[in-house]
Amino acid sequence: MDTYLQVFTITIKEYFVYRLNFILWRLRKVINLMVIFFLWYAVFDHTKEFGTYQKADFLSYILYANLISNFVLGTRTTDIASDINDGKIINILLKPVSFFRYYFTRDLTDKCVNLFFALFEIVLIVYIFKSPIVPPQSILLFVLLLINGTLIAYFISLLLSFVAFWTTETWGPQFLFYTLLFFLSGSFFPLDVLPPAIYKALLLTPFPYLYYLPTSVLIGRTVSLPLFEIAMSFVWVIASWIVVKYVWNKGTKSFSFWGK
């Protein structure tokens, strides 16, 4: 436990070394949020509701989804692909630490740091632009779904990095996947405004369980316990874990690296 606490502390210290990088990264996140937030703010100038959403619910969804996505998608696994390609990954494999726990700790650090700053930014946006916001609800269920979403995101991001065991061209799959993810996970709007058939089809994929579902619960959109969605989120946690372990085992067996 002490080892991973040290990893957590060291990762935080890394952020303080590259302060400018981190500030610029947060600035980019704020800009991206503003585009989508103001688009929907403008939509509600002419209408009181969008689908079944009132203005306060919708804007709260956009802001909370952004906050939660900062946590769920915060990751340091992006380093893994280049570490595999240039052989640096051997440094981790030779250490007496679990590869998965080591990177999960680093991910967790990234998530906490990003969440802290995102919270501050969103409070600022709500205050400056006087955005309506609904208080958080169903906290326990939200936390359960958040944990599942975080695990799914972690396993998928590992999976994308493990592509590097077989090719150096890892940026293509990552770019395509994250493009799909931002739209299909509900960054731009709550997924239930889509036509019912598309929405139901999306519930069979892992995307809604990353942050759409936790956000929906948080703003009180689920009147009864969403049993199917909860069950599916567990299915995706287990399925992605099995796949990632399988790919890892295959990858490490075919792995060769450049010695120095």
Partner 1 sequence: MRSLKLFLLFSQFALKSTFQARFGVVLFIAGKIVRFLFLFALIFIVFGKVTSIKGYLLNQIIIFYLTFNVIDTISQILFREVYRFRSLVTNGHLDQILLKPYHPFLRVLVGGIDFLDVIVLFPYLGITFWYIFQTPLITTGGLFVYVALLFNALIIVTSLHIFALAIGILTTEVDHTMMIYRDLTTMGRFPMDIYKEPVRSIFTFIIPIGVMMTFPTKALFGLLSPIFIPLSFVLSCSLLILSILVWNRALKQYQSWGS
Give me the residue label for tokens 């999960």: 104
Nearer to partner 1, 2 or 45 (CB): 45
Decide whether 41 or 102 has the Cβ nearer to partner 1: 41
> Which listed residue (2, 16, 17, 45) binds partner 1 by CB under 8 A?
45
Give the contact letters, 10-29, x = binds to partner 1 (CB under 8 A), - = no.
----------xx--xx-xx-
Binding of partner 1 by 34 (CB under 8 A): yes
State the minimum distance, in angstroms, from the CB of residue 167 to partner 1.
6
Kindly tell me which residue out of 43, 139, 201, 238 binds partner 1, with binding defined by CB under 8 A. Answer: 43
Q: How many residues does the chain have?
A: 260
User: CA quadruple 199, 244, 11, 3: dihedral positive or negative?
Assistant: positive
Largest CA distance in the chain: 65
Among 50, 199, 241, 255, binds partner 1 (CB under 8 A): 50
Name residues whose C-beta falls within 8 Å of residue 247's C-beta, 6 or more positions apart in sequence.
Answer: 159, 162, 165
**Cα atoms found within 13 Å of the Cα of residue 234, Cβ hemisphere only:** 6
Tokens for 232? 């599916």
Cα angle, residue 100 at apex, residues 98 and 105 outer, rounded to 5°:
95
In terms of Cα–Cα distance, which of 2, 235, 146, 228 is closest to 10? 2
Distance of closest approach, residue 8 Cβ to partner 1, in angstroms: 25
- CB-wise, 46 or 260, nearer to partner 1? 46
Asked if 39 is part of the footprint of partner 1 (rule: CB under 8 A), the reply reads yes
| The only residue of 120, 129, 228, 246 in contact with partner 1, by rule CB under 8 A | 129
Of the two residues 202 and 237, which places its CB atom closer to partner 1 in the complex? 202
- Nearest distance from C-beta of residue 31 to partner 1, angstroms: 4
Q: Rounded CA gap, 188 and 207, in Å?
A: 13
Residues 6+ away with beta carbon under 8 Å from 89: 80, 83, 255, 257
How far is residue 216's CA from residue 60's CA, in Å, rounded to a whole number?
10
- Sketch the per residue contact string, 146 through 185, with partner 1: x for CB under 8 A, - otherwise: ---------------------xxx-xxx-xx--xx--x--
Q: How far is the CB of 71 from partner 1 (least distance, A)?
A: 20
SS3 content of the chain, % helix, strand, coil (to 5): 75, 0, 25
Is residue 248 within the footprint of partner 1 (CB under 8 A)? no
Angle at 22 between CA 36 and CA 80, to 5 degrees: 95
Report the nearest approach of partner 1 to the CB of residue 189 (Å). 7
Among residues 9, 12, 13, 51, which is the contact residue for partner 1, using CB under 8 A?
51
* CB-based contact 40:140 (threshold 8 Å): no
Contact set with partner 1 (CB under 8 A)? 20-21, 24-25, 27-28, 31-32, 34-35, 38-39, 41-43, 45-47, 50-51, 129, 167-169, 171-173, 175-176, 179-180, 183, 188-189, 193-194
